[in-house]
Amino acid sequence: MPIGRQTPPIFVGLAAAILALPVVACALLGGCANPITKADQIAFESGYERLRLNGVGFEHVAYYKPGDGGRSLHVYIEHDGTPWITPTQPARDPTPTNPLMLKLMSLDPAPALYLGRPCYFATSGTPPCAAIWWTHRRFAPKVIQSMEAALHEFLAKHRGFESIELFGFSGGGVIAALMAPAFASTTRLVTVAAPLDLDEWTRVHQYTPLEGSLSPLRQPPLPPSIRQLHLVGSDDTAVDGKMIKPFVTKQPAAEFREIPGFDHYCCWDRVWTGSILAQR
């Protein structure tokens, strides 16, 4: 399959559904907020502080809440959003219309940082942003290094955290897994529906391989000091256990769990505080 004809990774169904909605529906509902405004509204209602952090050549929008004053910082990383609007046309702005991790962070009593990805949340027009960074190179070394630099900047300005725990959904879980070994203070990695074996993910969905991106499966195992939990829904048609288990079997301290009845988006809020965050 030629590189220009890549099916929109993971969220083709979501993007198609959005494009299919008649414009009149927005009018009937009193107007439709764009993804950036929607994220800001969720953050405002949750009492988060909006930040801009410097990465490696990229700017990162982030949202922070001090939480219960604990010494462990929970870092939330969002999914790929809408990298493509058709199978051949990249989106001008990949910011997710459904920021699931921003919502789940509101359930977390711990100090938490929602760390935006390069070119997301009103930074897509900032050089060097171009569609390649949210399509084929969304997991490129430069992207991971920029995420790490942004987190380092935050930690330098917010001293007192003794450890970090990384939480990533879908493509955000891929980034979280790639970031985890860069911080000696990482104690935990939790991914939700993350295609940690990118080769299997592209093969199953017949996507063009993400040239220039890193696959967590191809990296060295994480240190045993990092506890890992990798989740997937039994009804998820975007990411299944076969895209996760090969990674888990390589790890010295990892658990795989399939949640009955859940799909890619539903219903992670039901287990977040009890089954997930309770295991600290």
Q: What is the pLDDT of residues 54-89, one digit of tens each?
A: 999 999 999 999 988 889 999 999 999 999 998 889
Residue 41: Cβ-neighbour burial (10 angstroms; 0-12, 13-18, 19+): exposed
Q: Mean pLDDT across the stretch 36-60?
A: 93
Tokens coding 218: 């191809």
For 166, residues 6+ apart whose C-beta sits below 8 A from its C-beta are 75, 77, 176, 177, 179, 180, 186, 188, 189, 190
The H-or-E segment that residue 225 falls in is none
Tens digits of residue pLDDT in 185-215: 999 999 999 999 999 999 999 888 999 999 9
- Prediction pTM value: 0.88
DSSP 80-125: ---SEEETTEE-S----SS-HHHHHHTT--S-EEEEPPTT-SS-TT
Boundaries of domain holding 73: 3-276
Total number of domains constituting the chain: 1
| Helical packing angle, 171-179 and 141-157, nearest 10° | 70
